[in-house]
Amino acid sequence: MDVRPRVAIHKFASCSGCQLAFVNMGTDLIELSRLVEIVHMAEVGHIASDEEEVDIAFIEGSITTPHDVDRLKRIRAHSSYLITMGACATSGGIQALRNHADSAEWMRSIYAKPEYIHSLSTSAAIANHVKVDFELWGCPVSVRQMLGAVRSFLFGVAPQVLGEKVCQECKRRGNNCILVTQGQACMGPVTRTGCGALCPSFGAPCYTCYGPAESTNASSFGQCLMGLGLDSDQVARKFASINNAAPAFSEATQMFSGKTWMEE
């Protein structure tokens, strides 16, 4: 009899990038399969009912339809722990930009019979609908994060929460500061680490993939970006990216934006 803890990886509205992060584990996936039994993961062909009893349910994607809400509640009811993974599940993702527009008008302009489209007016994070035990930020999440979270829950301890900024990771890696040396609008000072400062390590600015960091002073940082030559609308666009619906970034977007670009 298999006594390994049971794990399911469920997908909602997303690009499947976080599921691919599982697949791309390589030999680590083999090691993970020794620790747990993966009973559901559509990306690799393991299909199980939403009512399958599992110890840990990973959720990828945001909630965009009434059917999503019903399905999510079934999954939550049959999972001991529920972990969101990626920007879509933790903050609504890039598709949450729809929250600032008239989605009904969009559907009327595209579909001949919009009354047959059953969609919510917003793209919402999983935590907006059910209790979430832990959040893994990132677009996509990192293998190290996922393995660490699984091992922590299996040993009955709370996973480590990483809230520090990408700038701190850059210092550890010995990177030159993109913001200071190149005058580029790098979002590292307001973005949480987890990626290993991947983009700055190759000379590119941070794009907020891992969401808001701890103690985000968006107002002050936005003024800093304007000092580099960006106008207020360009600053708003910097915050309104992958994790635009995260409260700290959403508030910054509203602070600097005239909202005209969200109505385009």
CATH number of the domain encompassing residue 36: 3.40.50.700
Our count of domains for the chain comes to 2
Residues 54 and 170 in one domain: no
Residues 122 and 198 reside in one and the same domain: no
For 83, the token pair is 């972990």
Residues 110 and 238 in one domain: no
SS3 171: helix
Q: Which domain holds residue 174?
A: 166-263
β-partners of residue 136 are 85
Pick the last residue of a domain from 129, 154, 179: 154
Binned average pLDDT, 10 residues per bin, the chain of 264 residues = 88 92 83 89 87 95 95 97 95 89 82 86 93 94 86 86 90 94 95 93 94 90 94 94 92 79 45
Q: How would you list the strands of the sheet with 79-85, edge to edge?
A: 37-41, 6-11, 54-60, 79-85, 134-136
Domain boundary pick from 154, 187, 221? 154
Q: What is the pLDDT of residue 264?
A: 46
**Whole-prediction pTM:** 0.88
| Same domain, yes or no: 37 and 145 | yes
**One domain for residues 212 and 88:** no
- Output the pLDDT for position 191: 96
**DSSP state letter for 214:** T
Q: Is residue 103 part of a domain?
A: yes
Going by C-alpha positions, the residue among 52, 63, 65 that lies closest to residue 11 is 63
| Residue where a domain terminates, one of 118, 133, 154 | 154
